[in-house]
């Protein structure tokens, strides 16, 4: 709503006032000078001055003299006052109410106020058209607010609080009929209007709503409001003790430990002798506040003064052990600290307090991670995950951490049910970061089981939901993973496009390591489509950077792909050197997938050098180690069959190759289908069986057609067709 031109102003006047062209032009000339073309001024001046002028004139034509007689001001206070003088009293009441709100007001709730105030929906729409109030949409719900701050400030200043009473009385009977999705502060307005009982009841609910919604400061303001006013206006529904407890816990959560200590101290002093259990709990909260302020000796004294016994509640027993553990840890007594923590952990199933669970979890996570004890850590996560209810806001984080640990341990079968459960949970309790991470893990897990198309669908869903890609680094991770999946499916054109887009994001965001992770996969794709020069550039530059940065994972990947490049170029000595470099680095990391990748390329190397017994031994090891990992199992059958074919063991080779062919068809992998079909054709020719050879050749030709179609890039398609390997095949076909 910036500055408008004279022409735009005239069009607006004609639209809003719907008068004759001469009057429109005269009004525009005067209005534009007074308003300086400011759109908000124009809208309000039309309603404040010109519409009344036209209505008073009736059927008479408004002329220049009429406009000169009309006192029109371009000053905002004059405009607003002239407008307010014309408004019905009930509308003034409603505007007085809306102007004092700090939060947008739900439209659904406002519409229920219209009839009691004497208005209908047409009147509401007219208010929106005139700019008296505005509609906004947020997270799927419509709200009403006064957006223009000068107008809102004027209404606050020039309308009395008494004007709100009519609206508040009507609103009072409607609150609580249906729960509001977002917090709304109304208690202060009821209090100003003199309805103290309603104000206090609402304030307690609002404080909890703000806390639930993550607006801790505003929640604290409402608790402080209650703390101040419950002495003056005691409530039968709200106990000061409950307010002080919630206030202290929130102050502690916000890092206001001194304030929290005072709130808990005031609460403890108000307790009766019979409230021993509550006294212990609040004393522990005071000790915790002291601990957080680094008053360690005072905290220890406070806990010892309580004299915790086995007869206390499970919560108090667990809480005291956690506090003692933290104190011992700070005193440097790690072994004693762990004993206290494990005592608390043992009793945790009887403690129905999520925050205490998560506090102990965070402490033990650090201890187990530091000791590199993954088994204990997973056991801890499983226990916490079972204890937390499905409605817990902490549940998604714990589920995600459990999935992450299983994936890190390559236990994808254990990870899958938790990932599926987390996915279902993320659809009901939507948190963008959690939802995106869960989908990414599902894509990785399904990829492990060879379900590449299912993996792709999850990744695509993330890419199609911008809110899930808010962080550039995560965006790059998703696009890169999707590019790798497309590569596995033989969709090289789509893979290159995705990886290039991810590379562009890396360049803009200066994500250096991610850039070279992408380049190593670009190099691999160019190897597969026989763009060897480009492949060499990407891979050699990645290796240079990885060695300088001491990035072992990238050194392994780049070295193996460069070995593959040299095998294609018949540079066997260079290929051997790259394989040696990869093996040396793999021995440092001990990653099973890196080792499997290495063995695959070592078999190819032995086949190229004619060391067939070594190839067979390595292939047998590789076949054993790949069981259960679909991607590698598929390749294992093919590679073992290829080695046996070279050794002349045709029956055994055919058995392996047929298994590889069936799996390649099952998982829709045209590249593998093509390679296996060619080896089966070679096997049939070696067995002097031209009919079978012709059948396998037709299968190879069909797979090649699917491979080329899947590439979906004319340049890459031509590059493949013109390569030495495929030219030979196509020449043989001709």
Separation between Cα atoms, residue 418 and residue 61, nearest integer Å: 76
Question: Which H/E stretch holds residue 145?
Answer: strand 141-145
DSSP letter string, 61-93: PP-HHHHHHS----SHHHHHHHHHHHS-HHHHH
**Dihedral over Cα of 539, 723, 721, 692: its sign:** negative
Task: Identify any residues that bridge with 38 across adjacent strands, giving them in sequence order.
Answer: 3
* Three-class secondary structure of residue 142 per DSSP: strand
The larger pLDDT score, comparing residue 173 to residue 563, is at 563
pLDDT in tens, 188-239: 999 988 899 999 999 999 999 888 888 899 999 999 999 999 988 988 889 9
Confidence of residue 67 (pLDDT cuts 50, 70, 90): low
3-state secondary structure 408-472: HCCCHHHHHHHHHHHHHHHHHCCCHHHHHHHHHHHHHHHHHCCCHHHHHHHHHHHHCCHHHHCCH
Lowest mean pLDDT among 32-46, 165-179, 481-495, 718-732: 718-732
User: Which DSSP symbol is given to 594?
Assistant: H
Residue 724 reports pLDDT greater than 80: no
pLDDT, mean of residues 95-104 = 90
Please give the angle made by the CA atoms of 139, 140 and 145, to the nearest 5 degrees: 80
The answer to whether 134 and 144 are in contact (CB under 8 A) is yes
Length of the chain: 734
Q: What is residue 553's predicted lDDT score, i.e. its pLDDT? A: 94
pLDDT, mean of residues 267-274 = 89
Tell me the average pLDDT of the chain.
88
Separation between Cα atoms, residue 385 and residue 394, nearest integer Å: 9
Separation between Cα atoms, residue 276 and residue 278, nearest integer Å: 6
pLDDT, mean of residues 302-310 = 77
Tokens encoding 568: 């294609």
Question: Which H/E stretch holds residue 138?
Answer: strand 134-138
Residue 496 reports pLDDT greater than 80: yes
Lowest mean pLDDT among 519-528, 556-565, 638-647, 666-675: 666-675
Q: What is residue 675's predicted lDDT score, i.e. its pLDDT? A: 92
The larger pLDDT score, comparing residue 277 to residue 179, is at 277
pLDDT, mean of residues 548-559 = 96
Question: Which H/E stretch holds residue 533?
Answer: helix 532-549
Residue 523 reports pLDDT greater than 60: yes
245-279 b/e (C-beta count within 10 Å ≥ 16 → b): bbbbbbbbeeebbebbbbbbbbbbeeeeeeeeebb
Distances (CA, A) of 126 to 72, 131, 297, 394: 23, 9, 67, 46
End-to-end CA distance of the chain, in Å?
A: 70
Q: What is residue 409's predicted lDDT score, i.e. its pLDDT? A: 87
* Three-class secondary structure of residue 103 per DSSP: coil
* Three-class secondary structure of residue 106 per DSSP: strand
Percent of the chain with pLDDT over 70: 93
Q: What is residue 729's predicted lDDT score, i.e. its pLDDT? A: 65
Q: What is residue 137's predicted lDDT score, i.e. its pLDDT? A: 82
Q: What is residue 482's predicted lDDT score, i.e. its pLDDT? A: 96
Nearest of 3, 49, 56 to residue 26 by alpha carbon: 49
Residue 577 reports pLDDT greater than 60: yes
Separation between Cα atoms, residue 616 and residue 639, nearest integer Å: 9
Q: What is residue 530's predicted lDDT score, i.e. its pLDDT? A: 87
pTM score, whole prediction: 0.67
Residue 335's Cβ-count burial label (10 Å; 0-12, 13-18, 19+) is: exposed
List the chain domain ranges: 6-76, 87-174, 185-238
pLDDT, mean of residues 82-108 = 90
The answer to whether 512 and 493 are in contact (CB under 8 A) is no
Task: Identify any residues that bridge with 565 across adjacent strands, giving them in sequence order.
Answer: none
Q: What is residue 272's predicted lDDT score, i.e. its pLDDT? A: 87
Residue 615 reports pLDDT greater than 90: yes
Residue 56 reports pLDDT greater than 70: no
Q: What is residue 734's predicted lDDT score, i.e. its pLDDT? A: 40
pLDDT in tens, 342-395: 999 999 999 989 999 999 999 999 999 877 888 999 999 999 999 998 888 788
Q: What is residue 65's predicted lDDT score, i.e. its pLDDT? A: 56
Confidence of residue 179 (pLDDT cuts 50, 70, 90): low
Say how far residue 339 (Cα) sits from the centre of its chain.
37
CATH 1.10.10 fits domain 87-174? yes
């Amino acid at each position: 709503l910036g500055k408008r031109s004279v022409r735009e102003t005239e069009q607006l006047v004609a639209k809003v006032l719907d008068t004759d062209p001469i009057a429109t032009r005269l009004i525009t000339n005067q209005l534009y000078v007074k308003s300086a073309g400011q759109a908000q001024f124009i809208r309000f001046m039309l309603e404040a001055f010109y519409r009344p002028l036209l209505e008073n004139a009736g059927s008479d034509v408004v002329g220049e003299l009429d406009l000169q007689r009309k006192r029109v001001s371009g000053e905002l206070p004059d405009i607003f006052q002239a407008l307010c003088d014309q408004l019905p009293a009930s509308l003034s009441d409603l505007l007085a109410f809306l102007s004092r709100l700090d939060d947008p007001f739900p439209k659904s709730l406002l519409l229920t106020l219209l009839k009691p105030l004497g208005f209908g929906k047409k009147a509401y729409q007219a208010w929106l058209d005139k700019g008296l109030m505005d509609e906004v949409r947020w997270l799927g719900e419509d709200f009403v607010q006064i957006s223009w701050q000068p107008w809102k400030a004027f209404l606050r200043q020039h309308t009395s609080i008494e004007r709100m009473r009519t609206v508040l009385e009507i609103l009072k009977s409607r609150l609580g009929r249906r729960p509001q999705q977002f917090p709304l502060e109304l208690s202060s307005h009821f209090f100003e209007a003199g309805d103290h009982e309603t104000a206090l009841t609402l304030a307690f609910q609002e404080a909890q709503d703000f806390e639930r919604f993550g607006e801790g400061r505003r929640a604290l303001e409402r608790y402080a409001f209650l703390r101040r006013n419950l002495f003056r206006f005691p409530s039968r529904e709200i106990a000061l003790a409950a307010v002080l407890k919630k206030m202290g816990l929130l102050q502690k959560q916000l890092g206001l430990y001194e304030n929290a200590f005072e709130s808990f101290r005031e609460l403890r002093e108000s307790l009766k002798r019979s409230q021993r259990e509550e006294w212990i709990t609040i004393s522990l909260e005071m000790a915790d506040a002291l601990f957080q302020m680094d008053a360690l000796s005072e905290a220890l004294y406070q806990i010892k003064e309580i004299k915790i016994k086995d007869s206390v509640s499970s919560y108090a027993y667990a809480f005291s052990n956690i506090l003692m553990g933290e104190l011992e840890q700070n005193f440097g007594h790690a072994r004693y600290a762990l004993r206290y923590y494990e005592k608390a952990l043992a009793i945790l199933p009887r403690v129905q307090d999520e925050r205490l669970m998560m506090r102990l979890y965070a402490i033990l996570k650090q201890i187990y991670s530091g000791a590199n004890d993954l088994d204990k850590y997973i056991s801890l996560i499983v226990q916490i995950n079972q204890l937390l209810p499905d409605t817990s806001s902490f549940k998604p984080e714990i589920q995600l951490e459990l999935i992450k640990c299983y994936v890190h341990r390559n236990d994808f079968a254990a990870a899958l049910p938790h990932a599926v459960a987390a996915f279902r949970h993320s659809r009901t309790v939507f948190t963008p970061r959690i939802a995106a991470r869960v989908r990414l893990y599902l894509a990785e897990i399904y990829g492990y089981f060879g379900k590449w198309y299912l993996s792709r669908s999850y990744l695509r869903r993330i890419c199609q939901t911008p809110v899930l890609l808010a962080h550039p680094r995560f965006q790059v991770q998703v696009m890169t993973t999707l590019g790798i999946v497309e590569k596995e499916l033989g969709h090289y054109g789509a893979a290159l496009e995705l990886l290039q887009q991810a590379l562009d994001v890396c360049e803009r965001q200066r994500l250096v390591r991610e850039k070279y992770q992408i380049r190593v996969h670009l190099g691999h794709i160019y190897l597969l489509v026989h763009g060897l020069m480009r492949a060499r550039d990407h891979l050699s530059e990645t290796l240079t950077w990885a060695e300088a940065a001491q990035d072992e994972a990238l050194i392994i990947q780049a070295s193996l792909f460069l070995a593959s490049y040299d095998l294609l170029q018949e540079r066997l000595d260079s290929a051997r050197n790259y394989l040696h470099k990869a093996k040396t680095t793999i021995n440092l990391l001990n990653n099973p997938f890196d080792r499997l990748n290495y063995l695959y390329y070592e078999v190819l190397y032995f086949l190229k050098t004619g060391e067939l017994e070594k190839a067979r031994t390595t292939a047998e090891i590789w076949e054993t180690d790949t069981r259960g990992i679909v991607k590698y199992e598929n390749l294992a059958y093919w590679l073992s069959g290829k080695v046996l074919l070279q050794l002349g063991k045709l029956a055994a080779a055919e058995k392996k190759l047929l298994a590889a062919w069936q799996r390649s068809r099952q998982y829709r992998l045209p590249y593998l289908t093509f390679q296996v079909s060619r080896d089966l054709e070679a096997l049939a020719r070696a067995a002097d069986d031209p009919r079978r050879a012709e059948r396998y050749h037709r299968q190879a030709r069909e797979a090649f057609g699917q491979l080329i179609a899947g590439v979906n890039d004319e340049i890459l398609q031509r590059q493949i067709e013109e390569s030495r390997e495929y030219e030979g095949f196509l020449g043989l076909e001709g």
